[in-house]
A = this chain, B = another copy of it.
Amino acid sequence: MPVNLRAADPEALAPVAGLELGWAEAGIRKPNRKDLLVMRLVAGANVAAVFTRNRFCAAPVLVCREHLAAGAGVRALVVNTGCANAGTGTQGLADARASCAALASLLGCAPNQVLPFSTGVIMEPLPLPRLLAGLPAAVARLAPDHWAQAAEAIMTTDTVPKAASRRLTLNGRTVAVTGIAKGAGMIRPNMATMLAFVATDAAVGQPLLQRLIRRLADASFNRISVDGDQSTNDSFVVIATGAAGGAPITAEDDPRFGVLAEALQQVTVQLAQAIVRDGEGATKFIEITVEEAANEYEAAAVAYAIAHSPLVKTAFYASDPNLGRILAAIGNAGLEDLDPARVQVQLNDVWVVRGGCRHPAYREEDGQRVMREAEVRVRVQLGRGCAGTTVWTCDLSHQYVSINADYRS
């Protein structure tokens, strides 16, 4: 069902010097599947992270924030699927801390040098004994070339493991940028994301890395929506191990910064789009571009009004050019002074709306043709200014309902 998305060839995923990955089948929720991931970082690696803004953020998110604030440096990450450890109160916090302490003891570091991540069902207790029992096997498998298995180990309703990688050269040194992500439903990140881990062995100063992650999130994970629901556990982490050598990049005017930032953005956008392509029940990949807005906020409001409309999404699923639904969604975006007569809409190469009504050259068979394509670009011009934005979403299918009606059973 994923739209133009295949598992990455493991050979194409460049190891990142200074970072090793190991997994286990811990049986957290179901037996015989990779559901536990450990990442070990070299001493001195810099780590930046952004998290969900959901007020019911999960215990591991709280512990991550606490450990990052302590500033002791990050030496390891532990990730489980099958249980979100959210809505679990003080017991959830104790469980997240205990998983950090256990891994720290196995790796010989301090508990607050470990970051915990969980994903899965909300408001059920973390099966800590199974997680702890799985850690030694995961640690035993630690190796730099396990990115493909790591992408598998963090899947929940994902049907395809999501990984992306680039190699680049900075001042003659070969550097890798590799990342993995998971997520298929409850996807509407806001200044954060689902679970995504992107690493480079380039050296980047911590303050610069923290500024960069915001920009990366805004250009990738903050522009996608599957169902408009924001998770309790969204976390996006960027790691710069520095193990490739060279002086750290600490300022944006360093000539290496632009090259590295571009590679990081390519990897994060590819991962973000992979989440939409593998959106729960997705049969279409939809790019919504809003132009001629007065500012970026209203451009985003219009783009998400379209992306979140169940009627627009079901029309895409049906390949039905019932395109008035797009107009209704635009009118519903809260722009009080929108002038409908200035609005234009294009789908791929077909102009659909001009002057707020059906384009004179529009023919139903053209609309039908474009709606049948697996990738559709919706371009909206508001005629109000020169700001714009792009978001990526998918359609709403019977399969979405089936997946979410069956997820726990």
Binding site for B on A (CB under 8 A): 54-57, 84, 86-89, 91-92, 121-124, 185-186, 227-232, 308-311, 314-315, 317-318, 320, 322-325, 327-333, 335-336, 338, 340-341, 353, 355-358, 396-398, 400-402, 404-409
Contacts and interface: CB of A to CB of B under 8 A. Distances in A.
Contact of A401 (B323, B335, B396, B406): B396
Give how many copies assemble into the complex: 2
A340 B400 CA distance: 29
B328 A229 contact: yes
Given A227-B311, A398-B401, A356 B89 contact: yes
A324 B404 contact: no
Most buried by B among A122, A230, A409: A122
A337 to B, nearest CB: 8
A-B complex: 8 closest residue pairs judged by Cβ atoms? A122-B324, A56-B331, A123-B324, A318-B405, A89-B357, A314-B404, A55-B331, A54-B331
Contacts of A89: 341, 355-357
Given A230-B328, A358-B87, A323 B123 contact: yes
B401 A401 contact: yes
A311 B357 contact: no
A358 B230 CA distance: 20
Given A122-B325, A406-B318, A57 B401 contact: no
Contact of A356 (B87, B396, B406): B87
A327 B123 contact: yes
Contacts of A86: 324, 327-328
27 contacts: A54-B332, A55-B331, A55-B340, A56-B327, A56-B328, A84-B324, A87-B358, A121-B322, A122-B324, A123-B327, A123-B353, A123-B358, A124-B358, A228-B309, A229-B309, A229-B310, A229-B328, A230-B332, A231-B328, A310-B400, A314-B405, A317-B405, A318-B404, A320-B409, A322-B408, A398-B402, A401-B401
